Structure 1
Amino acid sequence: MDPMTEALLDDAPAEVLARTPVPDEYSALHLRAEDVDMFTGVTDKDVRASLRVGPVPMPELAPDEVLVAVMASSINYNTVWSAIFEPVPTFAFLERFARTGGHAIRHDRPYHVVGSDGAGIIVRVGTGVRRWRVGDRVVISPAYVDDQEAATHGDGMLGAEQRAWGFETNFGGLACYSVVRASQLIPKPAHLTWEESACVSLCAGTAYRMLVSRQGAAMKQGDTVLIWGATGGLGAYAVQMVRNGGGVAIGVVGSARKAEHLRTLGCDVILDRSEFGLDDGGEPGPDQSIRLGKSLGRAIRAETGCDPDIVFDYVGQATFGLSVFLAARGGTVVTCGSSTGYQHRFDNRYLWMNLKRVIGSHGANAREQWECLRLFERGHLVPTLSRVYPLTKAAEAARLVQNNGHIGKVGVLCMAPTTGLGVTDDRLRERIGPGRLNPLLDTPVPVG
């Protein structure tokens, strides 16, 4: 055990951390550039074949960055995309970033440390960092923005140089250490454990922007919201936000087991997609899409009396045509991703003639992230963690997500030796209630 790890696990004070040397290398889940063609001609692109856990060199800090000792992280679907090298190998993102010059050159390496979530302790700060100190406990936002771009000051997600940390940058969160910009930092909720804190920023922040923010659907009280993949990382937070905001949550899931877990989140209406002929995950054809849409629409109206004001879609190719069809007249489809494919087809008559809107949403800006985390601090939102793996088994965790075998969020312990650590406000945790804090924890899902 290196001196810094020992100091961190002993809860050493900030002054001790500041004078303790950081190691020259650290353990990380990473990809190798030499493997980018390994899945050519392969049908089952098993991420366990490409994701490696092992030592990588410790990078230097830019003036506006901090070094975080990552206590825990979590799996997002962008790590699956990274690990199967689709739609393009992420090494292309690192090369493009390096061409901007300066400290960005460090990111172009023959390895890519992945992961876009994390919670931990700051152990070093760059010379230009003002508002953060060694010893601060933080959650990391995945929005890696350039504050010298004019567009960034209107909305951090609009800058041309905005990137997803750990996907379009190197030194991501599925590691013992990570390099992040100070603008990515949010104070860690004191009542949450490391693993609970590490599963909120990407998915909860993204769902907040999609539904609540004026940059997204601007959901209001009474809105009916259809949520595809309602027990997924994004969907489970969306259900909570709709319920908190006085809306009616309609969750679509793929099995009776997932439907049961969705009930624990208080979802108002639960639809099993297999009962509507959507069990194969493929994209329905144009005629089939209309037929399925009419069937789903009847079921939704039977339960709610209306069509969805908002459709929350991150599934993409398999659902987008249905989303456009199902949204109410004047309604909104908000999308942030395409886990089943990027090429979306829909019948445009139902968009233009019914005055519907499609909103593209990506991540969350700093203000949205802080507002979202405040809801966790007040107990209005709770983590959707269902399973926790050690860093040594992170590739197995990613495989679970790749196969859609998970519920909510899958956590990964990095430097934290066990679950349950990191809480500094026991009174708030007790007031909220441990059972309510983790409604999906330890669900019986298969591994691998």
Structure 2
Amino acid sequence: MSSLVEALLDGADAGELERHELPAEYLAAHLRASDVGKFGDRADKDVRDTLHVGRVPMPEIAPDEVVVAVMASSINYNTVWSATFEPVSTFEFLKRYGRQGGYAARHDLPHHVVGSDAAGIVVRVGAGVRRWRVGDHVVVSCVQVDEQEPASHADAMLGTEQRIWGYETNFGGLAHFAVVRAGQLLPKPAHLTWEEAAGVLLTAATSYRMLVSDKGARIKQGDIVLVWGATGGLGAYAVQMVKNAGGIAVGVVSSERKAEVLRRLGCDVIINRNDIGMGQDAAPDPQRTIELGKRLGREIRRQLGEDPHVVFDYIGRATFGISVFVVRKGGTVVTCGSSTGYDHHFDNRYLWMNLKRIVGSHAANLQEQAECNRLFQLGQLSPIVSEVYPLHEVGEAARLVQENKHTGKVGVLCLAPREGLGVTDPEKRARIGEARLNPLRNTAAQPDRNTSAVLEGAV
């Protein structure tokens, strides 16, 4: 184990951390360029076959970057995309980025350290970093932007140089250390554990921009919001935000087990997709799309008397045509991602003749992320971690997400030796209460994965 890791685990102060050298190598979940094309025509592209955990070189940091000792991270669906090399290999992103030269060239490597969430401790800062110091407890945004690009000052998500860290860049968060730009950092909510905080920023901030921001649907009191995949990493935060805004949340799930999770989140109306005959349709044909939309609309009207004002759709091909059909006249479909496919089909008559809107959304700018992070600091949003794996089982954690067998967020312990660490405001935590902080967890039923094996390979 490196002396820096030993100092971190012993709770060393900033001065002590600065005295220890960064290790030359560190443990990381990564992909290998040599595996591109490995799956061929296989129907089941099992991410466990391509996600490797092993040592990688520590890169040099740029003047505007920091090194974060990652205590915990989490699985996002972009790690599934990366590990299946679909829709394109992320090594193509790294090659294209590397062609810019300078510090960007570091990213073009035969390995790709993945992961777009992290909570940890700053252990090094570049010469140009002003707002962060060694020893700071932070959460890491997935969004890297070029602050010298004019469009970034209007809305960082509009910049042509905006990239998703750990997906379109290297040195991601599913590792013992991560290299990030200073503009990706926000203070870690002091009452949250490492694994709770690590499951927050990517999905919660994405949901915030989609629903609350002036760049998204701008929900208001009384709005009926239909949330597809309402127990997923995006959906479970969406339900909380609808409730916080005084709206009425309608959640769609695929099982009674997930329906029970929604009840714990306080969702107003819960619809099992099997009850409307939707089942696991990957892409219903146009006629079936209209029929399913009518069934879903009738059920929402039966329970609420109205059609939804907003539909929150990150599912994609399997649901998008239904979303356009079922949202009310003048309503909004807000979309990001497409876990069932990007090729969306819908009947445009129901869009243009009813003056509906489609709003595309992607991640969140730093101001939106800060506003979202503040809601966690105030205790108005709760983490949605359902399970936690050690880093050496990252393949199993990602497989759970790939097969949609999870609820909420799946956490990954990196340098943290066990769950429950990282809380620096226990009084606030006690005031909020464990049940409210962990609505998706039954801690008594969790397997004991958080042993010294978490640090396997650190020695």
- Shorter-chain TM-score bucket reads over 0.9
| Cα distance between partner residues in 1 of 2:425 and 2:338 | 38
Local SS of the residue matching 1:325: helix
Aligned positions, number: 447
| Cα distance between partner residues in 2 of 1:59 and 1:230 | 39
Local SS of the residue matching 1:233: coil
Does structure 2 conserve the Cα–Cα contact (< 8 Å) formed by 1:193 and 1:423?
A: yes
Letter in 1 for 2:428: L
Question: Paired residue for 1:229?
Answer: 229
Q: 1:301 to 1:445 in 2, by over 3 A?
A: farther
| Cα distance between partner residues in 2 of 1:300 and 1:32 | 47
| Cα distance between partner residues in 2 of 1:267 and 1:293 | 21
Matching of residue 293 in structure 1 with residue 290 in structure 2: no
Query: How far apart are 1:442 and its partner, in Å?
Result: 3.9
Q: How does 1:212-361 map to 2 (within 5 A)?
A: 212-361=212-361
Letter in 1 for 2:39: F
| Cα distance between partner residues in 2 of 1:263 and 1:360 | 29
| Cα distance between partner residues in 2 of 1:262 and 1:134 | 40
> Percent identity over the alignment?
67
Superposed CA offset, 1:189-210 (max 9, x none): 0000000000000000000000
Query: How far apart are 1:445 and its partner, in Å?
Result: 9.5
| Cα distance between partner residues in 2 of 1:230 and 1:187 | 27
Local SS of the residue matching 2:294: helix
Question: Paired residue for 2:455?
Answer: none
Superposed CA offset, 1:298-345 (max 9, x none): 000111111110000000000000000011100000001100000000
Letter in 1 for 2:137: R
| Cα distance between partner residues in 1 of 2:280 and 2:247 | 30
Superposed CA offset, 1:40-98 (max 9, x none): 01111100000000000000100100000000000000000000000010000001111
Letter in 1 for 2:108: D
| Cα distance between partner residues in 2 of 1:43 and 1:289 | 25
TM-score computed with the length of structure 2 as normaliser:
0.96
Query: How far apart are 1:279 and its partner, in Å?
Result: 1.5
TM-score computed with the length of structure 1 as normaliser:
0.99
Superposed CA offset, 1:85-112 (max 9, x none): 0001000000111122220100000000
Unaligned runs of 5+ in 2: 448-459
Question: Paired residue for 2:120?
Answer: 120
Q: Provide the alpha-carbon RMSD of the alignment.
A: 1.2
Q: How does 1:21-420 map to 2 (within 5 A)?
A: 21-420=21-420
Does structure 2 conserve the Cα–Cα contact (< 8 Å) formed by 1:387 and 1:442?
A: no
Local SS of the residue matching 1:132: coil
| Cα distance between partner residues in 1 of 2:317 and 2:360 | 14
Superposed CA offset, 1:97-136 (max 9, x none): 1122220100000000000000000000001000100000
Does structure 2 conserve the Cα–Cα contact (< 8 Å) formed by 1:222 and 1:246?
A: yes
Does structure 2 conserve the Cα–Cα contact (< 8 Å) formed by 1:406 and 1:445?
A: no
Question: Paired residue for 2:17?
Answer: 17
| Cα distance between partner residues in 2 of 1:119 and 1:178 | 10
Query: How far apart are 1:401 and its partner, in Å?
Result: 0.2
Local SS of the residue matching 1:71: strand
Letter in 2 for 1:79: T
| Cα distance between partner residues in 1 of 2:64 and 2:107 | 15
Superposed CA offset, 1:375-412 (max 9, x none): 00111000000000000001100000000000100000
Unaligned runs of 5+ in 1: none
| Cα distance between partner residues in 2 of 1:16 and 1:379 | 32
Does structure 2 conserve the Cα–Cα contact (< 8 Å) formed by 1:405 and 1:445?
A: no
Superposed CA offset, 1:128-183 (max 9, x none): 00010000000000011110110000001100010000000000000000000000
